[in-house]
Amino acid sequence: LEGKKTTSRRRRAPCLKLKARVLKTPLKQAATSHSVLTEIQPDCQPLTTPPKPKEILPADPWTPTSNLKILISAASPEIRNREQRRELSNSTSEVLQAKHCLQEHLSGDEYEKSQPSRKEKSLGLLCHKFLARYPDYSSTAENNYICLDEVAEELNVERRRIYDIVNVLESLHMVSRLAKNKYVWHGRHNLSKTLQALKKVGEDNKYTQQIQMIKKREYEHEFDFDGERNEEMARSLGSNEHSEMSFVELPGMEFRAASVNSRKDKSLRVMSQKFVMLFLVSTPQIVSLEVAAKILIGEDQLEDLDKSKFKTKIRRLYDIANVLSSLGLIEKVHVAEERGRKPAFKWTGPEVLTDSQESITSKEQCSKNLFPSRGKQNFTRHPSLIKLVRSIENDRRKIQSAPTSPVKISASTDQNLSAFPSKMAQVPAMAKHQLEGQSKKVKEMKMKLSGSALESNLSSPEVVPKPDLPHTTAPSQQPVLTQPLGVGPLSHSPVSPVMLPQTPSGVSYAIYLHPSQAHTVTTYSPSFMLQPLPCTNVTEIKSINSKVLNRITTEEGDNQIAKDDPTKSSTAKERSTIKSETSSQQCLKRSQALQDSNLIKRCRSDEESLDTSLTFFPSGYLIALTQCTHGNKAGFSNKEKAGVCSLQHTTYSSPIAGVIPVTASELNTVNIPAFHITPLNIMLSPTSIAAAPVLSNPCLNSSNTSSAQNPSSSLLNFTLQHVGLIPAGVQVPANPVLQHVPVSSQPENVSHSSENRNFCYFIFLSCYSPNLLSKSQTVTENFFRTPGGPNTVSSLSANSDGTDRISQGTLYIPQRKLEVSED
DNA sequence: TGATCCCGCCAACGT
DNA sequence: ACGTTGGCGGGATCA
């Protein structure tokens, strides 16, 4: 028991071998037998993890010096510039811990005996060490090659452990295999794209629903293992026929990734990706190991959902989680449960935009052409392509696998595509291109937005732009836009009005209707609020919490014990743990109780300091009615401003609807996430609808005017009826006149006479989507079919300056009206 | 105790 | 036949 790893291993080997043959790694079909285990065990004493030797090992590589080195590398800011608080505290604690050990080493000689503790050998620490060797963002100049042997040796670990790390990194495309024993380091260069792709796949996989389902069952019956229930559940989960999802690749990297070897499962990699997906699709972004394990298991083997399998899965998840934690992507938390707390992890990585929010269209369009059958597999290898890929892989492998085959592909990550004969390769490239361009645009827009918000006096509280926060992780990798959103009014909370920078071009409005209050709307809508929203770009709607906060209930979410230390300024973070109900049903069910005092407090403070990071957008039905005119020439007087503000405030109390002014010219800048919601059976009372126009609070308008045109009431009615907002027979008042509006708040503020301005009306039936929207393109493509045909859309989206206009007088009715992803 | 997860056997793969 | 990968699960540690 001298402890030397190698020694003990050697000693142990024969014994294990014997036993193992019988029960350990079952030969394919041989099932593990515990009885055998117990019987045999006595014979071969060790057969267990060697007890931690308490003696010292002079030869042990873990000398104080090495410890120090590790500490330094782990903490070195130059090397690891990426992290912030979270990870910082993370690694800091680790470092401290290690330091502690170090001190022990130094202090007492007898202490030197202490073997590296289990902790010091943890995968997490090892991963930190590993990561410290490479830059977050690799530059071609540096040594981006990873030689497993070397690394293993340098880090003093078995190679096996390195595989664990590399496999996870590979799943994030942070490294890719070049050849035997050789990997290339990509760093975080592709991270955001990878995450985006993963999120997309996760959504397509309906992970959100799966999670929901599991939680539900769990809740209903105290979850009993070996119960039929589980099998049932597994079946239902697995029955989603997309269970064969394989490794998600990244455009431009697929072949390299594929070359990793054709070992079919690639389990750890795939598991890692799926695990990440779970975070990306859930809100709050907290995933308990249990749920994750169940989903991951349920997906492939619906049959035996036995305990051991579950345990194993959990073990693997821990391995993965350790690596992800080292990367600063997740952080451990605990969620309170009826019985004690359950381990869980919280996503702390960059916020990821949904494809549907960003460039789903471009990507999807491209891929759809290739994979007409399903959009869902955009980044997953399509079955029909496997053969092709295989053959390519084979060729490639031949070239690559020569022992120590030198890197023959240029180190750059995405440029070798052209080398591929397959035209498939070009698609991803295109998508990527667009993606990049778009995110750039998003960034610009965001900047513009916050800039104008700053100068706008209208900037009542909510417009106070949040100073650019340092990125939590990869600096500059994600658009600022992607900052944690979430705050807010979550799923059921009423949408709070938003103030956006005023635009000289006019105003327009949108109506927000929260499903949870739909019933109210149907009958009477005293709280129907009209919000004058000066806006330039509705690219991002900033909202603040309304006083009436809804419960953020997620079986897990609620219970989550914010174990965050108070020192941590986790506002955005915390807020991001809002749950967006995908199910309208649930939305309706949820009560609107105030949730936690923090939120309330924050809400209050919002009035002054306003954390505007919050950007959620109602996703839902959008109806644009152009030709509605309004406006006045009065500028914004202070008084008016005040009025607006107060109006706005009152709205917080129980806004069930809101209107966002949007001029036609801004139409294309409005971002709305793809439909997530079912249109519900919301019916608007005619009066409510009529109110919309009223919103064009005169005080918002600039003096310039255009001919006064009244909105076509028939058009309006038609539209509303068409989408089921009002009963067929009902007619909405034709002319939006203030007095018709049942505005319950500050009527005096809306009583100005108005002049005319062109703008269009948007009506949203919303189900809040905490996700940020970003691209105008999304809106236009998802909701409108311009008369000009498909090209119109392209041209609109192609224009980045946001000046495109949709011809006025046209009623665009979304064609995908009832296409809901929800179900 | 239950949560973590290190350790290393050995099957599957690749050459 | 041998080296590389990496699934897997016992059981040591940690909290």
For A169-190, the pLDDT digits (tens) are 988 989 888 888 888 888 888 8
Task: Give the residue-averaged pLDDT of A41-68.
Answer: 38
CA distance A428 to A423: 10
Burial (CB < 10 A; 0-12, 13-18, 19+), residue A538, is: buried
The four Cα atoms A38, A42, A47, A53 give a dihedral, to 10 degrees, of: 130
Q: pLDDT-based confidence at A201, cuts 50/70/90?
A: confident
Q: What is the pLDDT of residue A457?
A: 31
DSSP 8-state symbol, A806 = P
Which residue's C-alpha is at the least distance from the C1' of C5? A163
For residue A747, the one-letter residue type is P
For A437-455, b where at least 16 C-beta lie within 10 A, e where not — what string?
ebbebbbebbeebbebbee
Q: What is the pLDDT confidence band of residue A316, given thresholds at 50, 70 and 90? A: very high
Please give the structure tokens belonging to residue A511. 């109506």
Q: What is the mean pLDDT of chain A?
A: 45
Tens digits of residue pLDDT in A81-101: 333 333 333 443 444 444 444
Task: Establish whether the CB of A308 is closer than 7 Å to any nucleic acid atom in strand C.
Answer: yes
In 3-state terms, what secondary structure has residue A407?
Answer: coil
Residues 256-275 of A with CB under 7 A from strand C: 260-261, 263, 265-269
**Mean predicted confidence (pLDDT) in A467-477:** 32
CB A93 within 8 A of CB A331: no
Q: Considering only CA atoms, which residue is closest to the C1' of nucleotide B14? A: A401
Can you count the helices (H) and strands (E) in chain A?
Answer: 29, 11
A711 has pLDDT over 90: no
Q: List the structure tokens of A393.
A: 């892989």
Bridging pattern class, strands A617-629 and A509-513:
unpaired
Residue A20, CA: closest nucleotide via C1'? B9
Query: Chain C bases under 7 Å from protein CB?
Result: 4-15
Looking at residue A254, what is its pLDDT?
52
- What is residue A573's three-state secondary structure? helix
Nearest nt by C1' to A120 Cα: B6
A315 CB and strand C closer than 7 A: yes
Q: Which residue is associated with the tokens 């020192």?
A: A567
**Cβ atoms of A127 and A157 closer than 8 Å:** no
Instruction: For helices A307-326 and A289-300, give the axis angle rounded to 10 degrees.
Output: 120
Would you state the pLDDT for residue A320?
93
A115: the nucleotide nearest its CA (via C1') is C13
For residue A306, the model assigns a pLDDT of: 73
- pLDDT tens string A55-86: 333 333 333 333 433 443 443 333 333 333 33
Strand B: which nucleotides have any atom within 7 A of a protein Cβ? 2-15
The answer to whether strand C lies under 7 Å from the CB of residue A33 is no
Query: Tokens 């009206």 — which residue?
Result: A817
Nucleotide nearest to A167 (CA to C1'): C6
Rounded Cα gap, residues A422 and A822, in angstroms: 35
Task: Work out the burial of residue A341: count CB atoms within 10 Å of its CB; fewer than 13 is exposed, 13-18 middle, 19 or more buried.
Answer: middle
Spatial distance from the CA of A232 to the C1' of C9 (Å): 26
Residue A353, pLDDT above cutoff 50? yes
A639 touches strand C (CB under 7 A): no
Integer distance in angstroms from CA A43 to C1' C1?
31
For B3, nearest residue by CA–C1' is A343
pLDDT at A339: 66
Q: Which of A30-39, A198-207, A219-228, A278-287 has the lowest mean pLDDT?
A: A30-39
pLDDT digits 0-9 by tens, A547-567: 222 333 333 333 333 333 333
| pLDDT score at A299 | 56
pLDDT of residue A150: 86
Question: How would you list the strands of the sheet with A509-513, edge to edge?
Answer: A617-629, A758-769, A509-513, A657-658
User: Which range in A30-44, A370-384, A636-650 is most confidently predicted, on average pLDDT?
Assistant: A370-384
Rounded Cα gap, residues A765 and A763, in angstroms? 7
Residue A289: per-residue pLDDT: 86
pLDDT at position A782 over 90:
no
Name the band, by pLDDT with cuts 50, 70 and 90, for residue A269.
Answer: confident
Residues paired with A380 in a beta bridge: A248
Q: In terms of Cα–Cα distance, which of A506, A540, A529, A592 is closest to A743?
A: A529
pLDDT tops 90 at residue A165: yes
Q: How far is CA A391 from the centre of its chain?
A: 35
Task: Give A155 CA → C14 C1' in Å.
Answer: 23
- The pLDDT score that the predictor gives to residue A236 is 52
pLDDT over 60 (residue A115): yes
So what's the pLDDT on residue A291?
Answer: 83
- Strand C and A35 CB separated by under 7 Å: no
Chain A span 44-83 residues with beta carbon within 7 Å of strand C: 47-52
Query: What pLDDT band is residue A222 in, cutting at 50, 70 and 90?
Result: low
> Residue A265: its pLDDT value, please?
56
**Mean predicted confidence (pLDDT) in A419-445:** 32
Angstrom distance, A354 CA to B2 C1': 38
Which of A169-183, A426-440, A772-786 is the least confident region? A772-786
Binning pLDDT at 50, 70 and 90, where does residue A707 land? very low
| Distance of alpha carbon A607 from alpha carbon A812, whole angstroms | 37
C1' nearest to CA of A19: which nucleotide? B9
Give the tokens for residue A534. 């000066």
State yes or no: pLDDT of A44 exceeds 80.
Answer: no
C9 closest protein residue (CA to C1'): A312
Q: Which of A137-146, A347-356, A652-661 has the lowest mean pLDDT?
A: A652-661
Question: Is there contact between A41 and strand C, defined as CB under 7 Å from any strand atom?
Answer: yes
Nearest to A286 by CA among A35, A66, A562: A562
- Whether CB of A117 is under 7 Å from strand C: the answer is yes
As a rounded value in angstroms, the CA-to-C1' distance for A502 and B7 is: 63
A9 CB closer than 7 A to any strand C atom: no
Q: Grade residue A10 by pLDDT with cuts at 50, 70 and 90.
A: very low
CA of A99 to C1' of C4 (A): 36
Identify the band that residue A324 occupies on the pLDDT scale cut at 50, 70 and 90. very high
- Structure confidence at residue A100 (pLDDT): 46
Q: Gap from A630 CA to C2 C1', in Å?
A: 82
Q: What is the pLDDT of residue A176?
A: 86
Q: Is residue A404 predicted with pLDDT exceeding 90? A: no
A401 touches strand C (CB under 7 A): no
CA A316 to C1' B3, in angstroms, rounded, equals 14
Residue owning tokens 């959990």: A314
